[in-house]
Amino acid sequence: MGMAVLNFAVRFPPIAIVSRIDLPRPVMRWLSFIPISVMGSLVALEVLRPGGVMANPLTSPYLWAAIPTAFIYWRTRSFLGATLTGMVLFVVVRAVFSAILGA
């Protein structure tokens, strides 16, 4: 409970102050890129280094499922659709790789 209170106490004041200020357009545009940048870095890290170990790109089901998933998101702009597609593709690709590579 203490961690939650401390987290709120540290994060809320800057958000409350900035939300009441009219920020210039370039700053608002710059801030709009933060969520996608954070998500991209988290996803890229897990795709390229699953479990903290660098994966072979040719035999990584993570990478082979991520590429068409990214394409689906790019074409549809549907986060839910891309997520479900990625989950299904990962299971299928992992099963195919297991059958082929015997791993």
Tens-place pLDDT, residues 10-35? 999 988 998 889 989 999 999 899 98
pLDDT at 103 over 70: no
Q: Could you tell me what percent of the chain has a pLDDT over 70?
A: 99
pLDDT at 102 over 80: no
How far is it, in rounded angstroms, from Cα 25 to Cα 31? 10
Number of domains in the chain: 1
Which DSSP letter does residue 77 get?
Answer: -
The range of the structural domain enclosing residue 57 comes to: 2-101
How far is it, in rounded angstroms, from Cα 33 to Cα 70? 17
pLDDT score, position 78: 92
**How wide is the angle at C-alpha 65 spanned by C-alphas 100 and 45, nearest 5°?**
115
Q: How far is CA 44 from the centre of its chain?
A: 7
pLDDT digit string, tens, across residues 54-74? 888 888 899 999 999 999 999
For the question of whether the overall pTM of this predicted structure is more than 0.85, the answer is: no
